[in-house]
Structure 1
């Protein structure tokens, strides 16, 4: 504890929401409030499935348990502990996933007509926020690694150019890291934004562990001086799915951020999600550095073993070039598969269907195995063995495989303008040259191939049809089969 005591101002052994729920459980209060299952008695099948321990604390906001919309006691204490653990001026517990965190972050700084500088390879939640508020994106189109087909980070000179050409932009948004583990030079981008009078926002959906890297992982947004960061605790931090944190620095007013959050977040915050954030924050504060050091070591071992198989390329810090790949998240086990003649999504399907191994995603050329605090060495060995066997059984000529994951968009209208404009539905191939009014993406990772306001090109249509044929899970359009697209009328 001595190291932790020097790091933290507050007693990180506390978990006030969890403690309040345990005290509430012992009180045996008679429930004449919601939820209607009444501590599970009204829904025995659900109780049998989830367990009495779980449904017994699925409760409503009440004075002893505080209120997420306006916390004054245990939730506020939990937020103060989270801010302390993550080095933020303030932290907000979010129960709408990191989508809610990202949207609240963008809605806090942007209003209709404002410009915001961002890379195009953002999660759809960022562009959804622009649809809601009417802000206009200024895209910094990232470079693409030609071998891997993946988009890289934002180069410093690209950001500098965008700031110079759009001096009235309100903020710069950065992925820290990308889904594949690529990091931009966040400290430099923060300084450029601040020097221009802009805020810097970070989508850290895949960077929770950066706050507990102890210098061995890329810099976190708060340590780099960013103004706001969306941190997906459920991804690498161990909390329940749909729980997240929104962190802010000293230059953002927390009262206004709370108002923005309350525009869209539920008034019935789940105590299961909030207590999972509370307990997970405590776990990371007390043990995070040690645990994530072990995770990084496991990922490095897996990279070496997979590369020794041959045919695959499990990439890592060797990609760093000081700019567009300023740093790399070594916990990310991303593997290029095209050299064995299989698309990433094909390897993804084989691993699940024939080896009972569920990885995070497979796309056109790569797979991602998401390593975090719950992984063990024996599972790493099983994954490596399966990949070796897949190569032996399925290796083929890769002729005809697409490699490009990212296609620069041609923006013809703002996302809000295009989303709400009069539209018509056309067969997919008849939309070439038209302006799209909806999203099309592979999920995961949820980065749009097309977003509202972007012109549909032949290259994009080829990519959509190829991804569908290879079995990528496609989402976004009104037409679930993606045989038609909505375009501006």
Structure 2
């Protein structure tokens, strides 16, 4: 498609036309363009609520698009340079689940790193597929999980030639990229599909001097969080597909098993507008983001004690490339966990980061940031170091625990369970997940043996102030185990 065609935004244009017709509404939603809920209208505004509408012929239908949504998806596929694009309104969690469930059925194997997002574990439970975990390895210096080593993927493929697909996180939350092209070539050679969780990689499709995008390398499907780095509303996402090995009509059928029949036109139009902006201005947008990120990285490193890492950590394998827009900062050398710095910045300086873990924090830099905002962050970090730095002895220095898988996640999730105290659960099989959120990577997943290391890690995370989720017990004092 030509650049001129990307000037259009079919869903946005149809909504404007709908608003201008001043239709009298006897359908849902019940607030009727805000007239029925003045508090909501005062909060969100007339313009927003006037286009919070239901599916109808002029506005198409997300579950069976034939007009403006279909046109918008075609424009998105062209902008991202792939064969098909599906608009998703359940976040990239739904995109990940759609990918896995369209490829794997009950008992099918899928090769994946264990440091996957909780949505991938959920898809495993829903589909009944069997994960073949590839350990991502750990950077001892940074305390973060790395990418997938090609030799580890090859070993998993050789030992599981009947696996249906290889699933890759690229980039990771921290900006680590695997040798995706070699993994794709290896998987295809062995008749396996490649599914990529590219939640943090929207910018790869439009920026320069960044790691290559999954669809451009020949991956079969990719889940992209346009809302994270592409400018759409929270919860809007794309599922991208190349169709040489994938039936897109079947993929949509699978998507419709779980996707709402009341797709939000606020989310859909935001995807449409974000695509237009990225197609027309993406190169300039991400060039500026790179400049801001590099400036922030250099300023933080000049403080001393903090380490904002970049391409110097590349090793050609498990760290094959690095996303320089990610401002990932290691904090242990000032004696503070990343989550502690995260909390101080929010509570004492009104600065909100993306997340903090036990050794690092992540700041998302976007086109909406300024040099002034970066300087405010740097100044706050310098003051935190000056007033709160301490000895780093006895601090946990890694972010990933190798699992001991005993039964499949689905079997464990639906098995008879009993609740026990965390401290008394060592040696048992977990019946639920537990994770710090964000980033939402399970410390334990259903079907895995509970070890002393995992319990120590959970208790330490709780002590440092991480938000632990996944278990039924909201106080994180008990865990459900399989009742043999």
Aligned counterparts of 1:380 and 1:281: Cα–Cα separation in 2: 27
Specify the alignment match of 2:102 in structure 1: 108
Asked if the contact 1:237–1:373 (Cα under 8 Å) also holds between the matched residues in 2, the reply is no
- 1:11-38 Cα deviation digits (max 9, x unpaired): 1111000000001100000000000000
Q: How does 1:14-413 map to 2 (within 5 A)?
A: 14-214=8-208, 216-251=209-244, 252-413=246-407
TM-score (norm 2): 0.99
Query: How far off is 1:241 after superposition?
Result: 0.4
**SS across alignment from 2:33:** coil
Aligned counterparts of 2:41 and 2:151: Cα–Cα separation in 1: 56
Query: How far off is 1:373 after superposition?
Result: 2.4
Moved beyond 3 Å, runs of 4+: none
Which of 100-109 and 246-255 deviates more? 246-255
**SS across alignment from 1:223:** helix
Asked if the contact 1:31–1:38 (Cα under 8 Å) also holds between the matched residues in 2, the reply is yes
Aligned counterparts of 2:184 and 2:370: Cα–Cα separation in 1: 36
Aligned counterparts of 1:467 and 1:335: Cα–Cα separation in 2: 18
2:464 aligned to 457, 467, 470, which one?
470
Aligned counterparts of 1:289 and 1:389: Cα–Cα separation in 2: 35
Query: How far off is 1:293 after superposition?
Result: 1.1
Specify the alignment match of 1:422 in structure 2: 416
Query: How far off is 1:88 after superposition?
Result: 1.0
Aligned counterparts of 1:359 and 1:185: Cα–Cα separation in 2: 28
**SS across alignment from 1:12:** helix
- 1:388-412 Cα deviation digits (max 9, x unpaired): 1110111111111111111111110
Aligned counterparts of 2:474 and 2:259: Cα–Cα separation in 1: 27
Which of 391-400 and 96-105 deviates more? 391-400
- 1:399-438 Cα deviation digits (max 9, x unpaired): 1111111111111011101000111100101100001010
- 1:308-334 Cα deviation digits (max 9, x unpaired): 100000000001111100000000000
1:11 aligned to 5, 8, 21, which one?
5
Query: How far off is 1:372 after superposition?
Result: 1.7
Gaps of 5+ in 1: none
Which of 438-447 and 289-298 deviates more? 289-298
Gaps of 5+ in 2: none
- 1:444-466 Cα deviation digits (max 9, x unpaired): 00000000011000010000000
Asked if the contact 1:410–1:454 (Cα under 8 Å) also holds between the matched residues in 2, the reply is yes
Query: How far off is 1:481 after superposition?
Result: 0.8
TM-score (norm 1): 0.98
Asked if the contact 1:16–1:74 (Cα under 8 Å) also holds between the matched residues in 2, the reply is yes
**SS across alignment from 1:230:** strand
Query: How far off is 1:371 after superposition?
Result: 1.1
**SS across alignment from 2:52:** coil
Query: How far off is 1:176 after superposition?
Result: 0.9
**SS across alignment from 2:157:** helix
Specify the alignment match of 1:439 in structure 2: 433
**SS across alignment from 1:375:** coil
Aligned counterparts of 1:316 and 1:120: Cα–Cα separation in 2: 24
Aligned counterparts of 1:371 and 1:168: Cα–Cα separation in 2: 41
Report the RMSD for the aligned CA atoms in angstroms: 0.8
Aligned counterparts of 1:297 and 1:158: Cα–Cα separation in 2: 35
